Amino acid sequence: MTDHNHTRAAAPPLRPFLKWAGNKFRLVERIAQRLPAGRRLIEPFAGSGALFLNTNYDDYLLSDANRDLFELYTRLRDEGKGFIEEARRYFSAEYNNEESFYALREEFNATSYSERRAILFLYLNRHGYNGLCRYNAKGKFNVPFGRYKRPYFPLQEMRTFHQKAQRAEFKCASFEQTMSEAREGDVIYCDPPYVPLSTSANFTSYSAGGFSMAQQQQLAELARDNARRGIPVLISNHSTELTRRLYTEAGGQCGATFAVKRHISCNGLQRDDASELLALFSPETSDTLASVEMTQSNT
């Protein structure tokens, strides 16, 4: 295993080129400080790629269940300047109006996975309301027009991503599939859809964005299993009684908690402090837990 400083030396942090819910841009330094050293960083919930951009591992494996995200990242990595210049055409007054937006959204929904669809996905991300990424029950993108005066074209951010992505493998896969591919020398960072802040939420029935509480529990168990085979796992989530219990019972160390500004209601203008939790599942801790369990089973 390469034992080097994996945090990126340059400051300020590099911004992702996409708008993305749960973007970790403002937290990358805190998260990077908790990440163990290793050769490759694996992110089963790639999202905006903020941590990927602001760490310095030899290699990366970024996956996400959203195929549009995977296609966009792959096209940008492989095609670089040509892809960027083609995407840039749509960031002008000609396309910043309702008629153009809904026409391009309709084209996006009728287009199969291709360079064209990837370019339209970037356009919709930057011109749609609040940078949301949302699909209806039929799998159609349905975010409304954002009404921005002059949507920002992330030229430098895309160039930076393209350069860094030469060290990355992108996959459209579930978190279970991705975590099963981890090998010695890898480090895993998980940023799943967060549990609700409400203490009244039902553990078994809650689901946000298709991520159920059963999956939250499965993620904690997979983190424990990976740690037992020598692969450290760091997980972000809301700091609640539920998550602290979930992670500690699976053998995680809930050591870092801090307040962050986050939308916590359907009113987008309402922001409040929410407590963020970082739980580390380390091989050392898992060895201790395994020996305790073995002792208990033998008594």
CATH superfamily of domain region 71-156: Adenine-specific Methyltransferase, Domain 2 (1.10.1020.10)
Q: Please give the pLDDT value at position 22.
A: 80
What's the rounded Cα separation, in Å, for the pair 180 and 7? 25
* Domain residue limits, the chain: 25-65+173-298, 71-156
- Mean pLDDT in consecutive groups of 10 residues from the start of the chain, 299 residues: 51 92 88 95 96 97 96 98 98 98 98 96 97 94 97 98 98 97 97 79 47 92 97 95 92 75 46 77 67 33
Is residue 131 left, alpha or beta, with left meaning phi > 0 and alpha meaning psi from -120 to 50? left
Sign of CA dihedral 132, 65, 55, 32: positive
Architecture per CATH, domain 25-65+173-298, reads as 3-Layer(aba) Sandwich (3.40)
What's the rounded Cα separation, in Å, for the pair 291 and 249? 15
Using the structure block, give the residue that is written with the tokens 């203008």.
Answer: 269
Q: pLDDT per residue over 243-262, tens digit each?
A: 999 999 999 998 766 666 65
The fraction of the chain above a pLDDT of 70, given in percent, is: 81
What's the rounded Cα separation, in Å, for the pair 199 and 242? 8
Cα dihedral 154/158/164/166 (nearest 10): 170
